[in-house]
Amino acid sequence: MEEIITIDLREKPRSCAEHPLVKLTKALKELKKGGVVRVITDNKIVPIETIKVLARKNNLKYDIVEENNLYILHIVKQ
């Protein structure tokens, strides 16, 4: 069974260590083969290009779905 981690970048962090981008970066580095990180963002809060760059930097594949001005990315390690 594949592991799915959901990270919502629209959430306001309580501290720097809990910032969603920190969580995303950590999750992408720790992602195991077949694992999926589902990222939810509003382009006004965290630009979609930022997430794409992080995925490419970690040699990960992704697909993007746009719903009601929100972007949902599925980032997969193959």
pLDDT at 17: 67
Give me the domains of the chain, ranges plus CATH numbers.
Answer: 4-76 (3.30.110.40)
29 within 8 A of 61, measured Cβ to Cβ? no
What secondary structure letter does DSSP report for 64? E
Q: Is 17 left (phi over 0), alpha (psi -120 to 50) or beta?
A: alpha
pLDDT digit string (tens) for the chain, length 78 residues: 578 889 998 877 777 667 788 888 998 998 899 899 999 988 888 888 999 999 999 999 999 998 777 888 898 987
Q: What is the pTM of this model?
A: 0.82
